[in-house]
Amino acid sequence: MSLRYALLGIISKKPVTGYDVVRIFKQQMVYFWSSTHSQIYTELHKMEKEDLIEHELVIQGTSPNKKVYHLTDSGKKDLIRWAMEEPLKPAKIKDEFLIKATIFPVLTVIEINKLLDEVIEREERILSMTKQWKEHFDTQAERDAGTMLTVEYGIRYSEMYLEWCKWAKQYIHENKG
């Protein structure tokens, strides 16, 4: 998957500003894709040059003007082609904590528990934010099947990660302490 298709997917639902794209990206894709603010804006610019998206400039008296992006016909065709024709690659987990877990044999139980507690705190925060966000969907576009499926994935992923961390703490207590 590439950033391009994640962005085209967001824009395909409704016209959005660059700010909206960044916000939606961070809310909906936090569990399976990451990107920086500058990468997103760079890709929006490239996609516009390639006629995959267009923008309408909205003049806002006292606030800065904003660009509202929408998908072009060629953008929609490319998005559908990618979804239906590109082979799926195996899922990858990129988690720095799991790299740290490989060195647990050289850490003390206190150090390991500190790391696990950090992950638990982070996942509880993400889980809470995701559940609150899901409860406050504003529009039908935010309740579409794709959004609901990915948000539910995020909730279940955080719940699984929290359960695994609690199991890991118990395992460390029983086997290393």
80 within some domain: yes
Name the H helices within 50-144: 73-85, 96-101, 109-135
Q: How would you label 1-39 residue by residue, b for 16+ Cβ within 10 Å and e otherwise?
A: eebbbbbbbbbbbbebebebbbebbebbbbbbeebeeee
Which of 63, 85, 107 is the last residue before a domain boundary? 85
pLDDT, tens digit only, all 177 positions of the chain: 588 999 999 999 899 999 999 888 877 776 677 788 899 999 999 999 999 999 999 998 898 899 999 999 999 999 999 999 988 888 777 889 999 999 999 999 999 999 999 999 999 998 998 888 888 776 655 677 887 888 888 899 999 999 999 999 999 999 876
Helical (H) or strand (E) element with 7: helix 3-13
Residues 167, 100 share a domain: yes
Which of 85, 117, 140 is the last residue before a domain boundary? 85
Which amino acid is it at 54? E
Residues 103, 46 share a domain: no
61 within some domain: yes
90 within some domain: no
pTM: 0.72
Res 83: pLDDT: 92
Q: Range of 14's domain?
A: 3-85
Residues 53, 115 share a domain: no
Domain holding 78: CATH number? 1.10.10.10
The number of domains in the chain is: 2
Residue in this structure with the two tokens 């987990």, named with its chain if needed: 93
Which of 85, 106, 125 is the last residue before a domain boundary? 85
Residues 51, 11 share a domain: yes
Structure tokens, 149: 């499926």
Res 128: pLDDT: 93
Measure the CA–CA gap between 152 and 110, rounded to whole angstroms: 33
168 within some domain: yes
Helical (H) or strand (E) element with 71: strand 66-71
Which amino acid is it at 115? L
Res 177: pLDDT: 60
